[in-house]
Every structure is written in structure tokens, then in C-alpha cells.
A and B are shown apart, each in its own frame.
Chain A
Amino acid sequence: MKKIRRFLERLLPPGMDPKTLCGTFITGAVISVLASLSFWLRYTIEIYELYETVGGKSQRIEGRMMPDFIRLLGDVSFENSLACFMILACIMPLFAIYHYLYHRQGARSDYLMRRLPRRWVWHARCLALPLLAGAAALVLGFTVLMLDFGMYMLFTPGDAILPGQWMKIWSVL
């Protein structure tokens, strides 16, 4: 744990506690994952719609098709089950502004950072973790997208899937 902390500290302005940024990222990631479960709610409703009960037996409704994966994911808006990942990916880089301002809080440590022989250190320490966290949010969102898609393809009867699902994802992305 100490090693991770030390690693994170080296990616932040000197003296800054990694807790704030990491706490925000973890909270945001948990909320995003929970919000992404709305896909499964929609999926479960739609998969039941494929079947009807006849004489106490469940059977497929002929010609009934599963909605497109991308539709189940939600519109390209805040209803989208992956919208929270996008919001998180946009919020994390804002920490960079806070990191630059940090060097003007209580002192002008920007004077020190600006006269370092390796001047990129200042920018690296202000930008690295916010950008990494933003990228991590995108990767996490993409991973959930792939998992959802995999499950959609795995659990939906093959003849109920409309063709071109993969391409439809990319057309939206």
C-alpha cells in the first residue's frame, strides 16, 4: 500500500495527498459501474419480451427480435448506461487546473517549480494523474461496454439478434 501511495505521490504536485483525486476517481467509478447496471435492467425486460407462456410452458414468440445492443445501452445522453464513465473522464482532467492553482496556495511554489532544471516535472506532476485517471475512466467504460456486449451476444438467442450489432456500436461511438 505504501509503495502505491509513494508511486501516486510522484505523479502529483509535491506535498499533495493522493486521497482527494483517488477518492473522487473511485467514487466516480463505483457510481459509473452501478449506473451501467441499468443496461441489465433493460436487457432483462427485453429478453422476457421474447417469450410467452403457453400452457404453463415458456416459448419463444415467433419473429420477435431483441432490440439492438446499442438501444439497450441507452441513448447518447445521460440515460446511456455508460454516461457516468464519460462524465468521470471529463471531470478528472479538471484536477489539473486545481494542481496548477495548488502552487499558488499559501506560497508561490510555482516559482520553485518553474525554475527546476527539468521544467517538465512541474507540468508532469500537475497533469499526469488527472490525465491518467481520465484515461482510466474511458478504459473502464470501454471494458464495461465490451462486457455488456459479450453478455448480450452470449445470452441472447442467436436468431433473435438483428444483424450488424458490432458495426452499430462503432457507428454510435
Chain B
Amino acid sequence: MLKIEKLSKRYGGKRALTEVTVELPRGEIVGLFGENGAGKTTMMKAVLGLIPFSGAITLDGETVGRRNIEKFSFGTCEHSFIPNLTAMGHRDFYAEMFPAFSEKRFNGLMDFFELPRHRPIHTFSAGHKNQFEVIMALSQGADYILLDEPFAGNDVFNREDFYRVLLGILEPRETVILSTHLIEEVSDFVGRALLLRHGRLVGDARVMDLEDRGMSLMDYIKETYHYRADRVSRALRELGGEEDEA
């Protein structure tokens, strides 16, 4: 169980996260939603120990650190692969560094995405780079797979195929924390939604519970964010009014 307690983070004078507390058991696909700057990436980086923070992050009661960091993998739109290294070079490096690395999954996903194995990653297209980033995160053998906007720039067919593959390959011990703006696209795949706003956790719901209440994930998110449905019509009316005055 991953426990995040009173996680706070400031960048200079700006609060990026404020006392976020959440428990994430194994075996879930969790969607982490929020507008730009809501704190999604900051939260993931804090879990991985990539940034200093206040609060406590523990895995099975033990502070996340060198001894259990291999239980976490990270796929980010910033890309954490090594651009000059080939896919096979990555495979060898991961296999050496992460004892639970799954070569079988690596090969399966490389075949699925039809990625070249002997070319440095910097020669890949933007879409292929994203796919490779995700492949490494899924193949590391981690229990918690943190994916931060992994498919920014990928076409919709690739994304949908990936979600299907993801559902098919995940083992019961594996938890995926998926940060994305593509809410409707992932609503069929995530089992739980965490909503961040201005660095605070403003929503935490299971998709099944929402369905029982006759609510879609999108409805829940709009409700939590107090989305004003008349926003567009009002803006158009005001813009039109300006034109009339002119």
C-alpha cells in the first residue's frame, strides 16, 4: 500500500501541493486529473523522491527511498530514457539495474508498437519516443507505475490500443497511476479518479461507485471543478456584444 500523508510542496513562494493525503493499494488503475499546474507532476516527482517535499510517503509502512525505489517506475512526457542508447541498450541497462525487469513484457511491447531495437532513441519519432518511454516504465517490474501524460502527441488509435494492452498485461500487484488530460478516453480504463486543483486533492472516487450513482467520470469531474456549462455561450455572447458595439 502506498500512503501519501500531508504531502506539501512549495516552489519559491508558490504552493504546488498542499497537504495531499491519499492511500493507493496495489492492483488499481488510478487516473490523476487536474488542470495544468494542479500539481499532478509534482505529486509524482515527490513520490519518486525527485524533489524535496514535506509530509510522508511510505510503501508498506517503509519510507520510499533507496531500499524500495525499484517498486516504482516512471514514464513521463519529459522522457526519462537515454537518447543515445538503443532500445536493446536500455533493455540491458534495466535488466542490470532492476532485478524484476521483465524481458518478456519488453519484447512483447516492442513487437506490439513495432519499434526498432537497434537505433538510438533520439532518432525515433515523437510518438515512438512516448511509446518507448511507456514500454520501459511497464517493463521495469515495478508495483507502482507512474505515467505522466505519457501519450502527449500520439494518435488516438495508438492510445486506445495501448490502454487495451495495458488492461491485458497488468498483474494484480501492479498499480498504474496515470496523469492525463484525456479524461473521456481513459474513463473506461481507470478504476479510480483522483482530482487535484491548485495543489489540493479535491476529489477521490471509484468509477464503479460513480456508475452506481448514475454518474460518468466526466460528470463527476465537472461537478467537482464547479464547471460552468454556460461558460462558452456567455463568452460568445460577450464577444458578439463587443463586435456589435464596435
How close is B18's CB to chain A, nearest CB, in angstroms? 24
Interface stretch, picked from A48-56, A91-99, A113-121, A162-170, is A113-121
- Give CA–CA (A13, B79) in the complex, Å: 17
Whole-angstrom distance between the Cβ of B47 and the nearest chain A Cβ: 10
Check: A41 CB closer than 8 A to any chain B CB: no
Cβ of A112 within 8 Å of any chain B Cβ, yes or no, is yes
A106 to chain B, nearest CB (A): 4
With an 8 Å Cβ cutoff, the count of chain B residues facing the other chain is 25
Q: Using Cβ atoms and an 8 Å threshold, which residues of chain B touch A71?
A: none
Question: With an 8 A cutoff between CB atoms, is B151 at the interface?
Answer: no
Flag if B74 contacts A111 (CB, 8 Å).
yes
Chief secondary structure at chain A's binding surface: loop
Task: Classify the secondary structure of B's interface with A.
Answer: loop
Q: Are A15 and B82 in contact (CB under 8 A)?
A: yes
Q: Which of B51-91 contact A (CB under 8 A)?
A: 66-67, 69-70, 72, 74, 76, 78-85, 89
Q: Does A16 sit within 8 A of B, measured CB to CB?
A: yes
A17–B82 Cα distance when bound, in Å, is 13
Q: How distant is the Cα of A114 from the Cα of B79 in the complex, in angstroms?
A: 14
Asked if A108 contacts B70 (CB within 8 A), the reply is no
Please, which residues of chain B bring their CB within 8 A of the CB of A121?
A: 97
Knowing A15-B89, A117-B66, A117-B98, say if A112 contacts B82 (CB, 8 Å): yes
List the 10 closest A-B pairs by CB distance, nearest first: A15-B85, A15-B84, A106-B83, A107-B79, A111-B80, A112-B80, A109-B82, A117-B70, A15-B82, A108-B78
Give 6 pairs: A residue, B residue, CB < 8 Å, sorted on A: A14-B85, A14-B89, A15-B85, A106-B79, A107-B80, A117-B69
Chain A residues with a Cβ under 8 A of chain B: 13-17, 103, 105-109, 111-112, 114-119, 121
